[in-house]
Structure 1
Amino acid sequence: MKTRFKPDRGLSRRMVATGFLLGLLYVVFVAVLIALTRSAFVAIVIAGALLFGQYWFSDRIALYAMHGKVVTPEQAPQLHGAIDRLCALADMPKPTVAIADSDFPNAFATGRSPKKAVICVTTGLLRRLEPDELEGVLAHELSHVAHRDVAVMTIASFLGVLAGLMTRIGLYGGLGRNRDQNAAVVTLIVVLASVVVYAVSFLLTRLLSRYRELAADRASAVLTGRPSSLASALTKVSGDIAQIPTRDLRQAQAFNAFFFAPALKPGASFGKLFATHPPLEQRLDQLAGIARELGRPG
């Protein structure tokens, strides 16, 4: 896709490396399944159908889950105007624009391709941010679209979906119904293999997710030329999220990997290894470094 977002070679290398490792795990996993169980074909077909649905309808699924509604330029002139300017700067197709009626301050991009992309912001974000801060967030999301991050993360998560499916089949199907000792042993091996593969794929996708957030921050700062605006938005949103009731945050945490900022209170993460986003301090340090590169105040 033609765009003025600079190619991120580091992001590309990590995507390729993660895809290769996940693919290698997938090949080994399927080989074990084929050797040990007769239900491997059915499981793969089911998982493939789930992947296809998640990939093809990702925009509709995300909007439905977040109660987002597509808005026209007449309904949201300022939001459309900002996205129009950024798309012109980036020389990329304009995505569909949506707003979710929620006080939760965040934004996300979804869709299987740049031509089918959707950028959704919440009313809470629109209410809290200044115009330059909002442009920083929107440029961050447009970078995800330009780099096809949503499609990559959807495909990368396929192995985890498959492993989880096989674990459930083994736990609630084979072990419960098969009284034959050999069949029970085989099922147990499949379950253990599923758990190991899921754990490895989980860590790999989290690693890729954290890097792509840093890459999107950098792309946004370079495109707008105002790293301080994005830093201000990150600081403001992270601070406001800390004031939101835990019950409301839990409802949003399923979309952590797609959000501009994680739906977590400070200190609520299970650690850097399992986080979908890099620490706020790391993101702010990177933006300060970019500001120095551009000769702008941090």
Structure 2
Amino acid sequence: MGVNILDDLKVTKCTLWTTTKSALDCLYLEATKVWLSESEEAEETLHDNTYQLYVPVRCEADILLTRDSSPERYDLKSVEEMEANGEFDPPFNFTFKLQNLGPFTVGHLLVKVTIPTLTKGNNLLLILTNNSTSPQDGIQCTLAGHTALQQWLPPRGQVVTEDLRTYEKLDASNSQFNLLLCDVRNFKTSDEYSVHISGRLATDSLMALRFRSLLLVTTATLDIWEPRAMFLKEEARSREITLHVTKQYESEVSIWIIIGSLLGGLLLFALLTLALWKIGFFQTAYRRRKEAMAAGNGSIEQSSKKGIEH
């Protein structure tokens, strides 16, 4: 568009061109302005009067992140009962689903999934066995720092005494975790992807740890890398899957402490009884009771004799 401004004292001509361009459907503005003074200007200085203005317009992506898990809760029982019911190291399945509900194409989306697999004391919590995506095209997932699936599995049978009763939950902030990174390219409108994670609970390690109730929290977080002008609302960036583990047979006091206390109480009672018997406590009491009974019988006999004489 062109704009002419006339002034009685000075004549200035302004010419403004504006255009809009698209970067993966996320719009920005580009404007070119040319200012001409009222007097003739040398050709070599005309470039001083021309410049470009680039104004990015941020746009919000509408990506729906949902989750599903099975099971949501697991109650630890005795080892014998779990083995009898075939529940030793039971399986779990986590799924995060992505849906692009907005009008914009997301050039590069990064999905970060943190799974708490070890305590800080190196005790095993979850055994990861597999991860997959559906569909497989357009998304690629890798484990950060791992080259083979077998490296997900820490050594078994190495349980260190650890008290977790002060923890309400274990997540990436207070445990050792595995990081699953998924790249989504050219995420178009109405596209959908699912990330599946499967594994088993390490029941032998969980039984040895001290806790009553514990939440194992797996978190998925979204970050948009391209285009830079696109963003997600903070409340839409992450979702959590919580696996609630409880113990039915966790006791505050060891059974051996209870048995020892009971035997100690019985022994103390026996020693106290023996000491009282040694000092004649029971004999003195018996003698007093016998004398009292004899005195009572004598009073009754005297009363009976007086009654007969009268």
TM-score calculated relative to the size of structure 2: 0.22
TM-score calculated relative to the size of structure 1: 0.23
Larger radius of gyration: 2
Larger relative strand fraction: 2
Larger relative helix fraction: 1
